[in-house]
């Protein structure tokens, strides 16, 4: 899909390459306590010299805070695993937390699934091709890009 800026939008979807988790959230994005529902995704920034930088944050649905983030010139597993490690370093007891994401290959990857399982985190995924299922993250990316990126 071509975005308004003329570039193809970043998509990490590569089909089924691992486990597809159920959509547990079902667009119920409110959390009453911190560290009960988190969401993540990856977005792309294209620099003037055509270099691409990828940002991967985790957002807490209770207060909208960013728990951790990482960025890289590659959207690979290191990007999301570094972000996850930073979140785990700051938050030790996460049993029962719901981690929601899109169906990108990173979130289907066995190392991602294993890391969540090791911390007793429940994995939830948006339905294929349905950005509204992860709209809290999509809205965050839109706001971030409008505020600091577009028209720079």
Is the pLDDT at 25 greater than 60? The verdict is yes
The answer as to whether 114 is a domain residue is yes
Is the model's pTM score more than 0.85? Answer: no
In the chain, pLDDT over 70 holds for what percent of residues? 82
- Report if residue 137 sits inside a domain: yes
Q: Which of 145, 151, 150 is nearest to 57 (CA)?
A: 145
pLDDT category at 131 given cuts 50, 70, 90 is low
**Position 22 confidence tier, pLDDT thresholds 50, 70, 90:** confident
Q: In the predicted model, what is the mean pLDDT of residues 128-151? A: 79
| 95 lies in some domain | yes
136 is a domain residue: yes
- Lowest pLDDT segment from 53-67, 81-95, 96-110, 118-132: 118-132
In a domain, 108, yes or no: yes
Structural domain of 143: 37-148
Burial of 22 (0-12, 13-18, 19+ CB in 10 A): exposed
1 in any annotated domain? no
- In this prediction, residues 87-105 reach a mean pLDDT of 93
pLDDT digits (tens, 9 = 90+) for 27-48: 787 888 999 999 999 999 988 8
Domain count, the chain: 1
Range 127-148 average pLDDT: 80
Instruction: CATH number of the domain at 87, please.
Output: 3.30.420.10
Is position 69 within any domain? yes
Contact call for residues 113 and 18 (beta carbons, < 8 A) = yes
pLDDT of 13 > 90? The answer is: no
Structure tokens at 128: 């294929």
CA–CA distances in Å: residue 121 to residues 33, 83, 117, 144? 16, 15, 6, 27
Higher pLDDT, 112 or 4: 112
In this structure, is residue 31 part of a structural domain? no
């Amino acid at each position: 899909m071509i975005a308004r800026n003329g570039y193809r939008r970043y998509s990490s979807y590569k089909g089924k390459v691992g486990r597809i988790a159920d959509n547990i959230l079902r667009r119920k994005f409110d959390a009453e306590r911190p560290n009960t529902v988190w969401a993540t995704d990856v977005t792309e920034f294209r620099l003037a010299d055509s270099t691409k930088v990828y940002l991967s944050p985790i957002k807490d649905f209770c207060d909208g805070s960013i728990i951790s983030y990482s960025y890289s010139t590659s959207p690979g597993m290191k990007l999301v695993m570094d972000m996850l490690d930073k979140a785990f370093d700051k938050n030790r007891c996460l049993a029962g937390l719901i981690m929601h994401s899109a169906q990108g290959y990173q979130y289907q990857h066995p190392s991602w699934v294993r890391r969540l399982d090791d911390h007793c985190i429940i994995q939830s995924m948006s339905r294929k091709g349905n950005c509204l299922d992860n709209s809290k993250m999509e809205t965050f990316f839109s706001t971030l890009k409008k505020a600091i990126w577009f028209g720079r």
